[in-house]
Chain A
Amino acid sequence: MPTFYGREIASRLMLGTAQYPSPAVLADAFRRSGAGIATVSVRREAGGEQAGQDFWTLIQDLGVAVLPNTAGCHSVREAVTTAQMARELFDTNWIKLEVIGHADTLQPDPFGLVDAAEQLINEGFEVFPYCTEDLVLCERLVAAGCKVLMPWGAPIGTGLGLNNIYGLRSLRAHFPEIAMVVDAGLGLPSQAAHAIELGYDAVLLNTAVAKAGDPAAMAEGFARAVEAGALAAAADPMESRDMAAPSTPVLGKAFL
């Protein structure tokens, strides 16, 4: 099972907490998913509201590790300040670091990401960087002190799956000692299974479950998929080949 910054988590599924039809559906989806980590955020709260406290109580009842994010931050300063506020609110050094570089694709800003990661690691944060599958970027993040990498499968919320399988496979091979998570862009359990088959330690998703017609059933689908992927990855898969090779013995076939 994956270990992030020395903490072993009993599931390869990390699940977001946004966009569910209701808190009850969210809780049900988490139970069926078996997810060991929930991503959360910090947002403004209007005077008199207690939504933040209510949500926090719900998350605590799930009994999972909490990974706050810096979603929506487009500058290093925003991301760093958001991370500092999240650390106090959620009482954890873990931070899913997002520094968004492009409003349409929500593609990470690689330059700002490295800068923010360096600042936060200097302050004792344990950074989970939401990044692309760019090898040079990931080398910089690891050099900055990141012990986890979270390359995207596809842009957030698209459900397109693994857009660059070669890049993800190559990245996995370059960082055998780093915990790696495919974060964002997954739409179906089969895509999650594929990510784990490639050797990734976990997947992180939100929309695929929250926006399914039956979020709890989809959550269980993803849970089974990552288990299947892990079994396959450990079972030494066959080499693929271009030419057909009969599986039924040729020798002994009746001569008709």
Chain B
Amino acid sequence: MKIIVNGEAVETTSLTLAALLTELGKGDAKVATSLNETFVPKTLRAAQSLSDGDRVEVVAPRQGG
């Protein structure tokens, strides 16, 4: 299916958010996630299924003012 990850179209076979992160090489990374503009806690990623057209955001710590 085709989903949007951080604004970019991605073709994936991952069925859950946790599987997608592993596919992206972020399985153990210090990141936080949202799905369709709603926060998904780390503990719920494995249970969070993905659907065609979903919008996923993956963010990490960054410098800020």
Interface of A with B (CB < 8 Å)? 16-20, 26, 39-53, 55-56, 59, 68-69, 71, 77-78, 81, 84-86, 88-90, 156, 184, 206-207
Contact = CB atoms under 8 A, between A and B. Distances in A.
A40 B63 contact: yes
Given A47-B26, A53-B29, A81 B64 contact: no
Contacts of B65: 16-19, 39, 41, 69, 71, 156, 184, 206-207
Interface residues of B, number: 25
B31 A89 contact: yes
Given A48-B25, A53-B30, A85-B57, 14 more contacts: A16-B63, A18-B63, A19-B65, A26-B63, A42-B32, A43-B59, A45-B29, A50-B29, A52-B30, A52-B61, A52-B62, A55-B62, A69-B65, A206-B65
B2 interface: no
B47 interface: no
A222 B41 CA distance: 38
9 contacts: A17-B63, A40-B64, A51-B62, A52-B61, A53-B61, A56-B30, A88-B39, A90-B61, A207-B65
Given A16-B64, A45-B31, A89 B39 contact: no
